[in-house]
Structure 1
């Protein structure tokens, strides 16, 4: 047997390594390789539209590619439906239509540049804005222009668009709330800045009439802050007291009003210290830190915004009056509808096949990597892909009533039952706040009993001001904000910042196989020619394989065509009596002989390994063997080794066949007990429930329930929509290597939070003692109060440098 050696080459567009690169026909020297037709088409399109600068920006950003492009086959005509526009879009006063799309494949600054350039070459677009963190683009389409045109053009660029519902009243309320918050911050900032200008004069020694004017001016600037900007602290304090608990807002609100009252009394009396400038500054800093924390934690898509776009595509539904199939949105399907599902389309509902036969890819629902044969009378499920030919299906269940819908409902139920993690800062603050209030009251009481209540009030005020939990309130938000920002840089979208507090303590990781540890795409890994084939006939047989397989839509056929097209200069030949036999292969007559491309007989297999072997047969004689495999990702084995070193025990769970999973487990260094196969979605969920301290990593609908049941669910790049919703975090880069960085970030974040809290508590404890014994006055307390916050700030800056160094080390070790 003669063996053809296959080498990996990096794709020009997405930088994914491929065994079977494609080239443009005019590229005779094969200088620009591509991993698939999608990447080749996008590369040519960008050059045609004068947007080749995309690659320069991408290279400067030093961002690795986002995986091969899959060109969408949807025509997107359903986007023009009036019902869809009313449900999903906002119509502006001038008639323009605003629509949001979640874009698959967005990953770097070059993508941002390209998306926001689209109005320059899509005539119907008024504007385009991309939120890179959320991967959500907002397009404003000109009045009387087509939404489907925009979606189609964006899809041609390699970014598959999923329409997202505009939030209507909820979205407007959120925007209104954010405007109110920003207005409060702006008012506090402006008043604090102006109050400090006059306070500087007082600190510098201004006296007489000028001093009195300055004091009254700072008083006036403090009023908007106290009566308007500080209202969130009053609401938080009132809510905490209603629950009979203590929060950081309680002493903040108490300190603000005590400082204001004492300052007002001193202002009227004409003697004593005033703290109006300190009040304004404190409110401004606390509001600003909380706002940044909230924005950082919103980088991921909210669960609610993802739930409805699992069925977000076009479907052809039979009109009862005309009998014709008319395009509509999948969300409008109901039981009893007759639909036509074209080849390469996702099946949008559970139903029974009325007409047609073919093969479906159920990997997103079951985890099996090979396709399944279906025919009239068979049941099919939403979330599976129709591969070969058109199917006419009668809908039995649609939307939330489908099997996928039931999984989604169970996911939502699981999320609602999850107990929220309690922040360490919240726990400490309950005791800290209570102690400070008790000491302040005790100080006033002690001096009142001694007949010197003014000294008691002064020292109690100094105590509250210097030990005000500003630094305690900043300790966690600052660390979390920096860590969330770093996570985004590393390709990790986090929906909830508490993930960083959880993941460092979890000890087991259940990982799906297909698309997670593997690439999810078949490639030819070995090619062996029979001794019956001489060098003169090799080109002819390669052309026969290509001619037979190019009409098939089977994933193995696509992989074979890509390989043959790359390796050989093909002949233009014609065959007779072509036939594709579902579940077996393809065959045709050529010069009187029957040629078949089909699965190799077990007796003909030269090596019993993990690969799927397909052969070219001439009258049942094997001429050529191709070994195809869904290959492991290059970093899969090394990532699992690193996980074990971090005391995280990996376990592979798959819906694929036992032999495939067992062989893959051996290649990854996993024992048979750690490589589980043929698991249904419900079985995966039960597995998770039977384990403690578990992370679940997956990408398919079959993983969604397990993702929701796990202590922490992580969806990897390319995940089906339902998994994105179920997960707590989403990886925008391929493979599981980013999880290593997430674990490092978690541990370093917890360490940083603990250090920040320790600094804050130590500082406040010393400050409280100094205030109670009279070492510091309220004025000096106000001066020293920001010092603890600065300590926390510098500690956070130092800590994030450590995070960067450690994550860079991981990247280097895996390369």
Structure 2
């Protein structure tokens, strides 16, 4: 059976000629299936065309080359390339090409070439491309062959597994746009791919550890092949053969110790130089002692060898460390992933509705006008000036559902535009965007080490020191009184069987996984102690305005007083307030579905400060505002009934009146409204057994009303920022562990006083928030998620520490009495570390489902 790599170059040229056939020929080919070449689609003009049986059907061809290539591809297992959706080497259509060409050209600008093109020696360059539709080895083969024929290209390597293509070419002979256009010419839309520094480091660490583990595993299996006959039939083996197997085991163990175990020895050396007993110290001593003793016994020809124990221990230890590395990388806060959300290019406009030019995002400046099409990512913070769409903000806020954005709304860099084009006025770029603030907050949190992790490291240090003393005493006792021939083996078993790794991993692995889970839910931990303190919270002190409520006016009730219905009254009021920035104006405009009654004509607007508005709407003179102001327009000074405010008593509500010359038309009750998630938050906090307190600077009557509305038993109103701090201090004097929730600025004193605090991220720049954690969106029910995840993390830490303690208490005495051999100790120690890491890994699932 032929493989794709063996297809003749002449047939390849025929393939390219066929794939580049004019559209007219392709159209003619589809006129009748019996007259079209199965491979290239060109018309079949022969009276007796060439034919072949493929997949049980008769196929016709225009020439022998197409027939031979089609048969070869089918024989190689690539028949699927002839499907309607995967026609081999079909170029992209002209419309898609015209749209993509300006973007391709932008990648040749100095800013983006520096970002994506890697300079090499002798005037060469390299770039990694990411084609969108690589499916199999045939695709990779075609891409490599086609790019290699482009001017100046020295090599092209396509990887099906990673869907990446690495191209090297001579500078000055080829452009990035030319490479992208060449791929588009054979049906593969591709874009430059930037491997971030963190990705490179992670990949390098994983690859290095995998290589060391592979060498150790291979060495372990080979050494066990020689060790097993010695264990079972040592007495029957010729001494010369026995010595030969020992030398073979030595040769196989040598790369395991020198290469696979080198990070262990390096870590132990660093610990000793810093006068710190790290977890690598006993491991390195055990591995080194076992190998040296075995090597001496091999050279001398007498004594026990432990090559099987050494290789097995190193192999299983590296396996545990590899899984721990994967957990640590999966638990990363997501800052790098967030930072890579921004696109490389964007479309800058000369004016609203004008045509744009494709530029690098690095050239954007404040007040630039840009267009973000559906399917694109917003490159900078800005305000919508034209268009209506829905944005996916899940990467920034954790909100899973797309959010509607229209003219006047703010959009954030990193959001995905799902529906239709938007034109934006850029407000913040680069380091000033909210995305950059989130990254800065996460970096600050990562720079701090939790107290629990610090304590665990200190305990592990003392544990290692104690272990070394125990190992020395064990070796001394066995060497002087019990069995000198087994002293070394038992000492190695004591060093190996202990698990300082599990002890040191117990806390940081769990905290890292929990922190990652919360960041995915929009709760960013900005202080190292936040998670462990959240687990101990007994009381939650909540602000009202901006926390439990939206902190803005909304229309709570409309009462028509004439012949107009509710919708007509709202439309008239919104028409008068169109374009207004006052909170009342925004509330009335938001209450009208079409955004403000654009169908009516408004003239002669007069604004009376402190009173209201007067205007002519569709030829009718109206007033909107205070009761006495609106009633002043009514002829004859008619008495106006005062409607009941929404609810039996709603302190803090504002009533706005709409009147015409023939009478009062309606009243509008405007009041603060609760957040959509407030009820869910309070219910979940109650289920967690946490006491809630509503403490606000609003008037006492309003706070009492809201407390009764929410079902909160402890409330205080008209409290100054200092008074809030004193309120928290009194709770703490009674033994409470307090979580304070506020907007990060007005509530600075109370956030600082509480043992742990969460700031609502929408209330202040994240980098300036002084809280221990920041909620990046308005879904305040995630505060309860933070408490639940922190408590689960505490349980996992206790489980890990308990297991580590139990394991060491049982395993070390067994090893010291000689009941556990070195290879058993290696397996036990590795499995103990694996159990700790796997238990912590469970916390990552909290970021994907409700806890």
Q: Tell me how far apart the structure 1 counterparts of residues 783 and 346 of structure 2 sit (CA, whole Å).
A: 32
Q: Tell me how far apart the structure 2 counterparts of residues 413 and 177 of structure 1 sit (CA, whole Å).
A: 21
In structure 1, which of residues 766, 783, 805 is the aligned counterpart of residue 824 of structure 2? 783
In structure 2, which of residues 752, 758, 762 is the aligned counterpart of residue 700 of structure 1? 762
Deviation at 1:236, TM superposition (A): 1.5
Q: Tell me what 1:672 maps to.
A: 716
In structure 1, which of residues 528, 531, 536 is the aligned counterpart of residue 558 of structure 2? 528
Deviation at 1:228, TM superposition (A): 1.2
Q: Tell me what 1:229 maps to.
A: 260
Q: Does the alignment pair 1:295 with 2:326?
A: yes
Q: Does the alignment pair 1:639 with 2:681?
A: yes
Point out the structure with max Rg over C-alpha.
2
Q: Tell me what 2:281 maps to.
A: 250
Cα pair 1:511 1:698 within 8 Å, conserved: no
Q: Tell me how far apart the structure 2 counterparts of residues 599 and 342 of structure 1 sit (CA, whole Å).
A: 42
1:684-699 superposed matches below 5 A: 684-688=747-751, 690-699=752-761
DSSP-derived class of the 2:603 partner: strand
Q: Tell me what 2:798 maps to.
A: 751
Cα pair 2:283 2:496 within 8 Å, conserved: no
- Residue deviations 1:585-607, cap 9 Å, x none? 98864452135677988987724
1:129–1:794 CA distance, 2 compared to 1 (3 A): closer
Q: Tell me how far apart the structure 1 counterparts of residues 701 and 192 of structure 2 sit (CA, whole Å).
A: 41
Q: Tell me what 1:186 maps to.
A: 214
Cα pair 2:562 2:666 within 8 Å, conserved: no
DSSP-derived class of the 1:594 partner: strand
Q: Tell me what 1:465 maps to.
A: 496
Deviation at 1:234, TM superposition (A): 1.7
In structure 1, which of residues 572, 577, 580 is the aligned counterpart of residue 603 of structure 2? 577
DSSP-derived class of the 1:528 partner: strand
1:317-332 superposed matches below 5 A: none
Q: Does the alignment pair 1:713 with 2:713?
A: no
Cα pair 2:349 2:356 within 8 Å, conserved: yes
DSSP-derived class of the 2:621 partner: strand
How many pairs are equivalent? 618
DSSP-derived class of the 1:274 partner: coil
DSSP-derived class of the 1:529 partner: strand
Deviation at 1:694, TM superposition (A): 0.9
RMSD over equivalenced CA pairs, Å: 6.4
Cα pair 2:105 2:177 within 8 Å, conserved: no
Q: Tell me how far apart the structure 1 counterparts of residues 342 and 223 of structure 2 sit (CA, whole Å).
A: 53
Q: Does the alignment pair 1:208 with 2:247?
A: no
Cα pair 1:544 1:573 within 8 Å, conserved: no
Cα pair 1:510 1:696 within 8 Å, conserved: no
Q: Tell me what 2:645 maps to.
A: 606
Q: Does the alignment pair 1:85 with 2:85?
A: no
Q: Tell me how far apart the structure 1 counterparts of residues 224 and 482 of structure 2 sit (CA, whole Å).
A: 35
1:218–1:411 CA distance, 2 compared to 1 (3 A): same
- Residue deviations 1:394-439, cap 9 Å, x none? x9x9866x79999899969965874553355423321221122123
Q: Does the alignment pair 1:176 with 2:204?
A: yes
1:176–1:563 CA distance, 2 compared to 1 (3 A): same
Cα pair 1:188 1:284 within 8 Å, conserved: yes
Deviation at 1:560, TM superposition (A): 1.6
Cα pair 1:267 1:274 within 8 Å, conserved: yes
In structure 2, which of residues 305, 308, 314 is the aligned counterpart of residue 274 of structure 1? 305
Q: Which runs of 5+ in 2 are unaligned?
A: 1-101, 120-124, 133-158, 164-175, 182-190, 383-395, 397-407, 414-422, 630-641, 725-741
Q: Tell me how far apart the structure 1 counterparts of residues 430 and 558 of structure 2 sit (CA, whole Å).
A: 48
1:802–1:392 CA distance, 2 compared to 1 (3 A): closer
1:492–1:179 CA distance, 2 compared to 1 (3 A): farther
Q: Tell me what 2:462 maps to.
A: 431
1:241–1:496 CA distance, 2 compared to 1 (3 A): farther
Q: Tell me what 2:811 maps to.
A: 764
1:269–1:612 CA distance, 2 compared to 1 (3 A): farther
Q: Tell me what 2:535 maps to.
A: 504
Q: Tell me how far apart the structure 1 counterparts of residues 180 and 362 of structure 2 sit (CA, whole Å).
A: 24
1:772-811 superposed matches below 5 A: 775-776=818-819, 780-787=821-828, 790=831
- Residue deviations 1:483-523, cap 9 Å, x none? 67977998878899986555424667676767764578987
1:432-447 superposed matches below 5 A: 432-445=463-476
Deviation at 1:614, TM superposition (A): 6.2
Deviation at 1:744, TM superposition (A): 2.6
Deviation at 1:232, TM superposition (A): 1.8
Deviation at 1:713, TM superposition (A): 1.4
Cα pair 2:277 2:465 within 8 Å, conserved: yes
DSSP-derived class of the 1:247 partner: coil
Cα pair 1:522 1:559 within 8 Å, conserved: no
Cα pair 2:312 2:826 within 8 Å, conserved: no
1:205–1:236 CA distance, 2 compared to 1 (3 A): same
